[in-house]
């Protein structure tokens, strides 16, 4: 594994693990739905920004289009 991939993995693990800690420290006026929506929205924007060039290359390959579509549906349906 390259050092940049390892760094990205560590950063994503840290961000994933701190969501509950931040949510626990927030005001009771903020619903869990709002916290989850914000987390998924920001994560989705970051994911789209970082992977867009790779997605464009993958979609250009006819055999890979279904896999990209299936992966996208999986990400949307996951929560």
- The DSSP code for 68 is H
Domain ranges of the chain: 3-77
Q: Tens of pLDDT along 8-21? A: 888 888 777 777 77
Q: What confidence score (pLDDT) does residue 71 get?
A: 85
- Residue 7 and residue 41: Cα distance in Å, rounded? 22
Instruction: Say if residues 79 and 41 touch (Cβ distance below 8 Å).
Output: no
Helices (H) and strands (E) in the chain, counts: 3, 0
Give residue 79's pLDDT band: very low, low, confident or very high (50, 70, 90). Answer: low
- Residue 2 and residue 28: Cα distance in Å, rounded? 42
Task: State pTM to two decimals.
Answer: 0.54
Q: Tens of pLDDT along 21-76? A: 777 777 778 887 887 788 788 878 888 888 888 888 888 898 888 888 898 888 77
């Amino acid at each position: 594994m390259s050092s940049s991939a390892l760094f990205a993995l560590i950063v994503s693990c840290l961000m994933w693990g701190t969501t509950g800690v931040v949510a626990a420290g927030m005001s009771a006026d903020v619903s869990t739905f709002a916290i989850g929506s914000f987390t998924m929205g920001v994560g989705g924007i970051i994911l789209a920004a970082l992977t867009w060039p790779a997605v464009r290359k993958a979609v250009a390959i006819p055999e890979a289009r279904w896999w990209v579509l299936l992966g996208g549906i999986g990400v949307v349906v996951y929560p």
